[in-house]
């Protein structure tokens, strides 16, 4: 009788410690496996390739000339009656023969006119494509001169070159000759024809709701409910955050980072609120602010920049300077229509103040692409800037300054306490928790209809107003006081001001603007017999 037991018996797992070890090993293996599995997002090229399978050969002649079949039949019938094997009309001199022959000639002339041109191909390819798209309910739409495709999760913008290539392939499948359909100019003209002909209305999203797309669904906030629900093509959401919503997730490492770089709890609250405000459409709430993260040195601003880029997804963020965004040509503004936030480091330089105020307020703005027609953007990215220095050559009005929400990063982190891997640690483990921190800020903004009160932020704006106005700084630092009786000649005061600016590195304003600024600060300026004077006293 053979021995059924193995020569080396397996260890018994009756011991609790051994079972725990095995469970730990299996759990680790599962975690490593799940971390190595990459979530594959639908690719626009793949979807367009699938759509191509619905395209068949079409009869361009029949579509361009609907009566061509009837003409062909009549032509062949008369030809048979005149020249067939058993012709009906044989007497070429008879009246009947001549009448039928003339009819045949006329039809022949009509058929000779039925010649396809490039315009026929361009128009018919696009007409048929749009009909197929409508019948098959493809998620295809046009907004602000951009083409969007619904990929099952969100609406993704299709690159112009990619869509031109798709249109060229459509033409080839419909039967356009190879050496016409593959040439680049033909594809470009197909695209222009599509943009001119396509009526693909954008789905109308709910006006009073806030929608945030995540990997496991759409988080919806309305006046009556909030929570996760399935993706819906009708929402016309153009983003998807690269993580799942987990209502119980926390972010202890992120909170520790905040407590170190922003120890003021009021600053933290406003910070979270603005991050939540990113997701609020102007139709729901307009707070007319842009966020400035201000401070010099190693203070943690760049850490947050990396975290927010990962949280929102780089495809949902643009990084244009304020000067570029306010440029008259509008090219850069056209690029932020489908972004959640424009987050950049550069804020200095000459900017168009009126456009800046419009953008900070979330008002409709004009934009255009190179060689394209202007269009109006009603929804576009919120504005965040990291900066070491605030703009100085600015408009000195409340309408300008009230649009700044300045959060000072005042704590410098010593080099021996800097963790260069901190952003990646938070990104890898805590994005869902950081998102929940943002949601709390979003809830506060919706409830308060405003950002929370923060004395440090108010003071930062007040200081900015003073620091950006060299005239006010001059009056304050030189200890001038408003006077009823005493005065100083402008011809003496203005040179003192210019010297002050040169010594302190400020750009002096002209004499006319200098007088205007004095008047703005309630300093009485008058012309008397000795010249223009400002009613100020100075005991020094």
Please give the residue that has the higher pLDDT: either 519 or 30. Answer: 519
Percent of the chain with pLDDT over 70: 89
Q: pLDDT-based confidence at 493, cuts 50/70/90?
A: very high
- What is the DSSP secondary-structure string of 259-297? HHH---HHHHHHHHHHHHHTT--TTT-----EEEEE--S
Number of Cβ atoms within 10 Å of the Cβ of 200: 17
Share above pLDDT 90 across residues of the chain, in percent, rounded to a whole number: 46
pLDDT band at 371 (very low <50, low <70, confident <90, very high): confident
> What rounded mean pLDDT belongs to the chain?
86
Region 239-248: mean pLDDT is 93
SS3 320: coil
How much is the pLDDT for 18?
A: 52
Residue 54 phi/psi, 5-degree rounding, is: -85, 0
- 378-418 pLDDT, tens digit per residue, is 889 999 999 888 877 677 777 888 899 999 999 988 888 88
Bridge pairing between strands 404-408 and 290-294: parallel
CA 168 to chain centre: 28
Tell me 420's DSSP state.
T
The band of 40, judged by pLDDT with boundaries at 50, 70 and 90, is low
pTM for this prediction: 0.74
Mean pLDDT value across residues 20-39: 46
pLDDT digits over 245-265, tens only?
999 999 999 999 999 999 999
Given pLDDT bands bounded at 50, 70 and 90, which one contains residue 33? Answer: very low
Residue 509 tokens read as: 């304003």
Quick one: pLDDT at residue 20? 55
Looking at residues 322-329, what average pLDDT do you find?
88
Q: Do domains 252-461 and 469-537 have the same CATH topology?
A: no
Enclosing H/E stretch for 384: strand 382-387
pLDDT at 264: 96
Q: Name residue, tokens 């309305």.
A: 222
Which residue, among 256, 271, 291, 270, has the nearest Cα to 426 in the 3D structure? 256
Query: In terms of pLDDT, which residue wins out, 273 or 222?
Result: 273
> Which residues have CB under 8 Å from 12's CB, separation 6+?
18
Q: What is the pLDDT of residue 8?
A: 38
Give phi and psi for 361, each to the nearest 5.
Answer: -85, -10
Residue-level pLDDT at 23: 47
Q: Is the per-residue pLDDT at 511 higher than 60?
A: yes
Residue ranges of domains in the chain: 44-58+117-197, 66-113, 252-461, 469-537
Distance CA 322, CA 178 (A): 47
Topology (CATH level 3) of domain 252-461: Rossmann fold (3.40.50)
Integer angstrom CA distances of residue 39 from 42, 43, 88, 521: 10, 12, 75, 60
- Domain 469-537 = CATH 1.10.10: yes
In angstroms, rounded to a whole number, what is the distance separating the alpha carbons of residues 261 and 449?
Answer: 27
Confidence of residue 131 (pLDDT cuts 50, 70, 90): confident
Residue located via tokens 């390739």: 49
The pLDDT value given to residue 24: 52
Q: What is the DSSP string of 366-380?
A: EE--TTS--EEESS-
Listing DSSP states for 161-186 in one string gives HHHHHHHHHHHHHHT--HHHHTSHHH
Count of all residues that appear for the chain in the document: 540
Distance CA 87, CA 82 (A): 5
Instruction: Give the relative orientation of helices 511-520 and 470-477 as an angle to the nearest 10 degrees.
Output: 70
Q: Which pair of structure tokens corresponds to residue 434?
A: 């950081």
Q: Within 10 A of 8 (CB to CB), how many other CB atoms are there?
A: 6
Over 90: is that where the pLDDT of 446 sits?
A: yes
For residue 1, pLDDT beyond 70 = no
CA-nearest of 22, 43, 276 to 152 is 43
Listed in sequence order, the residues at least 6 apart from 128 whose beta carbon sits closer than 8 Å to its beta carbon are 58, 63, 174
Is pLDDT of 364 > 70? yes
- 7 pLDDT tier (thresholds 50, 70, 90): very low
The more confident residue out of 322 and 3 is 322
* CA 62/CA 115 separation, integer angstroms: 11
Of 12-16, 134-138, 204-208, the range with the highest mean pLDDT is: 134-138
Which comes out higher in pLDDT, residue 112 or 174?
174
pLDDT greater than 70 at residue 22: no
Among the ranges given (52-66, 199-213, 508-522), the one the predictor scored with the smallest mean pLDDT? 199-213
**Confidence check: pLDDT of 292 > 90:** yes
pLDDT value for 42: 58
Say whether pLDDT at 219 is over 70.
Answer: yes
Q: Which positions ≥6 away from 3 have C-beta within 8 Å?
A: none
Helices (H), ranges, 328-452: 331-334, 353-361, 398-401, 422-429, 431-448
Report the alpha-carbon angle 482-495-391, nearest 5: 80
What sign does the dihedral 347-457-210-218 (CA atoms) show?
positive
Q: Kindly give, in sequence order, each residue whose CB lies less than 8 Å from that of residue 163, ignoring residues fewer than 6 positions away.
A: 48, 147, 191, 194
d(CA 103, CA 92): 14
- The CA distance from 471 to 506, in Å, is 10
Tokens, residue 1: 């009788």
Q: Which two tokens stand for residue 197?
A: 């002909």
Contact 67, 110 (CB under 8 A): no
> At residue 79, does pLDDT exceed 90?
no
Highest mean pLDDT among 18-22, 79-83, 206-210: 79-83
- Tell me the three state secondary structure of residue 447: helix
DSSP 109: H
CB atoms under 10 Å from CB of 525, counted, come to: 17
């Amino acid at each position: 009788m053979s021995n059924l037991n193995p020569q080396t018996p397996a260890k018994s797992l009756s011991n609790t410690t051994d079972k725990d070890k095995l469970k730990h090993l299996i759990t680790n293996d599962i975690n490593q496996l799940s971390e190595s599995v990459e979530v594959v997002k639908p690719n626009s090229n793949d979807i367009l390739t699938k759509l191509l399978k619905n395209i068949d050969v079409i009869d361009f002649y029949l579509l361009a000339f609907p009566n061509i079949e009837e003409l062909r039949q009549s032509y062949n019938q008369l030809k048979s009656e005149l020249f067939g094997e058993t012709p009906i009309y044989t007497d070429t001199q008879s009246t009947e023969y001549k009448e039928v022959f003339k009819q045949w000639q006329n039809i022949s002339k009509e058929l000779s006119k039925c010649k396809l041109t490039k315009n026929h191909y361009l128009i018919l390819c696009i007409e048929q494509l749009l009909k197929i798209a409508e019948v098959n309910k493809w998620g295809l739409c046009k907004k602000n001169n951009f083409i969007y495709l619904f990929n099952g999760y969100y609406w993704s913008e299709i690159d112009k070159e990619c869509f031109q290539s798709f249109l060229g392939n459509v033409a080839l499948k419909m039967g356009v000759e190879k050496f016409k359909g593959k040439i680049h100019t033909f594809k470009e003209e197909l695209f222009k024809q599509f943009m001119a002909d396509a009526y693909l209305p954008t789905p109308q999203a709910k006006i009073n709701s806030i929608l945030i797309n995540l990997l496991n669904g759409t988080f919806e906030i309305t006046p009556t409910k909030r929570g996760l629900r399935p993706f819906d093509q009708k929402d016309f959401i153009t983003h998807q955050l690269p993580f799942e919503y987990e209502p119980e997730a926390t972010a202890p490492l992120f909170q520790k980072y905040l407590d170190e770089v922003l120890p003021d709890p009021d600053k933290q609250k406003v910070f979270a609120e603005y991050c939540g405000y990113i997701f609020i459409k102007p139709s729901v709430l307009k707070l007319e602010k842009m966020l400035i993260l201000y401070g010099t040195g190693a203070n943690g601003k760049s850490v947050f920049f990396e975290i927010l880029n990962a949280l929102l997804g780089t495809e949902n963020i643009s990084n244009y300077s304020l000067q570029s965004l306010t440029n008259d040509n509008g090219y850069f503004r056209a690029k932020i229509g489908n972004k959640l936030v424009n987050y950049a480091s550069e804020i200095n330089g000459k900017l168009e103040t009126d456009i800046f105020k419009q953008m900070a307020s979330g008002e409709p703005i004009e934009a255009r692409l190179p060689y394209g027609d202007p269009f109006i953007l009603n929804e576009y990215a919120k504005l965040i800037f990291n900066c070491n220095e605030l703009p100085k050559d600015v408009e000195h009005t409340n309408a300008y300054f009230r649009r700044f929400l300045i959060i000072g990063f005042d704590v410098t982190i010593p080099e021996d306490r800097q963790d260069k891997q901190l952003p990646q640690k938070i990104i890898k483990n805590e994005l869902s928790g950081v998102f929940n921190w943002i949601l709390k800020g979003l809830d506060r903004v919706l409830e308060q209809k405003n950002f929370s009160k923060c004395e440090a932020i108010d003071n930062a704006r007040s200081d900015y107003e003073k620091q950006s106005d060299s005239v006010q700084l001059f009056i304050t630092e030189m200890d001038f006081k408003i006077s009823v009786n005493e005065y100083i000649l402008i011809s003496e005061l203005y040179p003192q001001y210019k010297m002050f600016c040169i010594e302190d590195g400020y750009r002096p304003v002209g004499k006319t603007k200098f007088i205007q600024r004095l008047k703005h600060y309630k300093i009485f300026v008058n012309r008397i017999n000795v010249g223009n004077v400002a009613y100020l006293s100075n005991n020094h």
